[in-house]
Amino acid sequence: MLLAGLLVLAICPRPTATQFTASVNPIPSAALELTYKADQNKWLFVDQYAVPYERMMVQLCVSRDAAHCSLASEHVTDTCARLATQLGSPAWQAVDATPDPCLNLSRVEAFMRSEGPNSLSIENNLAALRAFDVSPPSNSSDGKVVLRVRFVYVQTLGAHSAHVHASAYEIVMRPLQDTPESLVVQTECGARGLRSPHSRLAPSLGGSVLEVVVLNDTGTPIRVCVWQCVPPFLKMPWNAPAFPANTSAAKQGSCARAPVSFSTVALSIPLINVTALTFDASRDMLLGVDRLAESIAANLLAQFGPVRVLISLRGSTYNARHVQEVLDWTRRFRQIQAFDVVLTVNTDFTLKNAPGVTRRLLQQSGIADDFLDIVLVAAINSQTSCCLAEVAKKIPEAFEASSFDFGTQTVELGEAQVESSASITERRKVEEVTQEQVTRRAGNDNISIWLPIVLVLIVALACFLQPK
């Protein structure tokens, strides 16, 4: 049985160092953003699905047959030489002026160029672009040109290896008709003269997005413009409203990236003597909530280093977005193989209100609990791992004997209750893949299959020849 088990184990091949997955791009053509810049007579295509990277390049399909240029998304980790082979199809050629030092793919002059961080500029010269038209010849009578482009994002992992993410798109361009008038399209928030920080960046690169939220406190709907960030970027300040476009106020906000490996602590602090949280009351209080977050971060800086402090006002009607979603995002790391997660949960308390349970009353008759829900995010070190949760419990004591000014009213901070703490470590940042390692692993694959078999046979032969 032992011999059979060893033989079965021995013939199972080891995985190689190369990782490759592909899926058909699900983004419909109507969702792609192609904008005409009249002042430059150019088109600008923005890849809203960009990923963090060190270098970016754009490839153009140079084949007249669209079947030669797949729209599949690609995620590849390997040596530069193998990456260049996998991405170096003759049908795809780069439009960048400078070749990538790792990939060094062939290039083509095509009246277009990539523009950081996630855009492609295309000259409005359809006659010149028709050489790259992948639409069937029978459709050429309508005057449109169909192009296929691929955005390639490169993240260096070692001296001779990298991780590459590639997204391909089909762009349909039609000739412009001369007109004496101009058409300007604005979003609702933009028409109100509002903006959000770094709105030109894709959310996956740290850009923010404006959203319209409909509130109905008094029976009359109110449309409110808010701005948000997408994890791993955290909105700072958490409760900041949309900013006037004609001021520099937007520079006060940002989408701050969470550290690669970080600790989180989730807690909640009761607020005592809080009036009903209407739209106006919430808006005034949230200014004070963000000031409290800044004060907490300043107090924790000396012991723990920079700490991102996110505080939401439970029950607020102005900013209904809660830090619970950030907490849920940190928990999802347990489902990703590239991360190690250590999570400690207090089963007696949760940031979420249990369904069907009425919130208990405080000592003041007729006044229910209102809470500040808080998530602290800090880079992992010896201090955050051991002490951040314990120090977080003492936050109310640090602010003027449990009192802090929240805009138009002053309330007391009750006893902080910690829900959970977590440590999240990204494993793939610990190991660097070098060309020598990848080559050695790939070259030893055949050896790894036969070596256990040879060892078993040697042991069996030794036992057979052993004198009795």
Reported as a single tens digit per residue, the pLDDT across 126-172 is 888 888 988 877 655 567 788 899 999 998 887 788 888 888 888 88
Supply the angle between the helices 435-443 and 445-465 in degrees, to the nearest 10: 50
Asked, for residue 288, whether it belongs to a domain, the answer is: yes
**Residue of 1, 163, 187, 172 lying closest to 82 (CA atoms):** 163
Tokens describing residue 243: 């900013």
Write down which residue in 151, 173, 195 finishes a domain. 173
Print the SS3 string covering 71-103: CEEEEEEEEHHHHHHHHCCCCEEECCCCCCCCC
Q: What is the DSSP letter of 368?
A: B
Confidence of residue 306 (pLDDT cuts 50, 70, 90): very high
Task: Indicate whether 316 and 417 sit together in one domain.
Answer: yes
3-state secondary structure of 11: coil
| String of DSSP letters for 412-448 | EE---EEEEEEEEEEGGGTSPP-HHHHHHHHHTHHHH
Alpha helix (H) residue ranges in 218-339: 279-304, 324-331
- pLDDT, one tens digit per residue, over 76-108 is 888 898 888 888 888 999 998 788 888 888 888
Say if residue 241 is in the same domain as residue 136: no
DSSP H or E stretch at residue 458: helix 445-465
CA–CA separation, 15 and 107 (whole Å) = 34
Residues 199 and 104 in one domain: no
Give the amino acid at 29: S
Sequence-separated (6 or more) residues with CB below 8 Å from residue 326: 231, 234, 264, 310, 375, 377
pTM score, whole prediction: 0.55
Tell me which residue of 357, 409, 395 sits closest to 269, measured CA to CA: 395
**Phi (first) and psi of residue 272, to 5 degrees:** -105, 140
Residues 230 and 125 reside in one and the same domain: no
- Of 26 and 368, the one with more pLDDT: 368
> pLDDT at position 116, please?
81
- At residue 195, the pLDDT reads 83
Of 257, 277, 304, the one marking the end of a domain is: 257
The token pair at 200 is 């030109």
- d(C-alpha 468, C-alpha 464), whole Å: 9
Torsion region of 325: left, alpha or beta (phi above 0 gives left; psi -120 to 50 gives alpha): alpha
55 is a domain residue? yes
Tokens 């959000």 -> residue: 196
Q: Is 21 left (phi over 0), alpha (psi -120 to 50) or beta?
A: beta
Asked whether residue 220 falls in the same domain as residue 116, the answer is no
- Is the residue at 130 inside a domain? yes
Same domain, 268 and 237: no
Distance from C-alpha of 96 to C-alpha of 113, rounded to nearest angstrom: 6
- DSSP 8-state code for residue 333: G
SS3 label, residue 33 = strand
* Encoded tokens for 395: 């936050």
**Pair (105, 229) in one structural domain:** no
Asked whether residue 8 is assigned to any structural domain, the reply reads no
**Residue 458 predicted with pLDDT over 50:** yes
Residue 427, both tokens: 């494993």
Domain range enclosing 225: 187-257
Angle between helices 382-392 and 279-304 (to 10 degrees): 140
In the beta sheet, which residues pair with residue 125?
A: none
Measured CA to CA, the distance from residue 352 to residue 268 in angstroms comes to 10
Are 82 and 110 within one domain? yes
> Is 445 inside any structural domain?
no
Cα–Cα distance for residue pair 367/387, rounded to 1 Å: 34
Same domain? 75 vs 38:
yes
Count of domains observed in the chain: 3
SS3 per-residue string spanning 93-142: EECCCCCCCCCCCCECCCCEEEECCCEEEEECCHHHHHHHCCCCHHHHHH
Instruction: Identify whether 342 is part of a domain.
Output: yes
How far apart CA 401 and CA 466 sit, in angstroms, is 83
Confidence band (pLDDT; 50, 70, 90) for 18? very low
314 and 411 fall within a common domain: yes
Give the pLDDT band (50/70/90) at residue 260: confident
Residues 426, 326: one domain?
Answer: yes
Q: What is the pLDDT of residues 363-386, one digit of tens each?
A: 333 344 688 899 999 999 889 888
Q: Tell me the per-residue pLDDT of 402-443, one tens digit each, with 9 for 90 and over.
A: 466 776 667 778 888 888 888 888 765 434 444 444 444 344
Both structure tokens of 223: 């449309």
CA dihedral 243, 244, 246, 251 (to 10 degrees): -10
Whose structure tokens read 């790792």? Answer: 102
Q: How far apart are CA 160 and CA 438, in angstroms?
A: 10
State whether 192 and 163 are in the same domain. Answer: no
The residue to which tokens 């040697």 are assigned: 458
Could you tell me if residue 179 is inside a domain? no
> Which are the contacts of 419, defined by CB distance < 8 A and separation ≥ 6?
266, 267, 268, 327, 345, 346, 349, 350, 351
The verdict on residue 1 lying in a domain is no
Chain mean pLDDT for the chain: 74
Span between the terminal Cα atoms of the chain, in Å:
23
The pLDDT tens digits of the residues spanning 47-66 come to 877 778 888 899 999 988 88
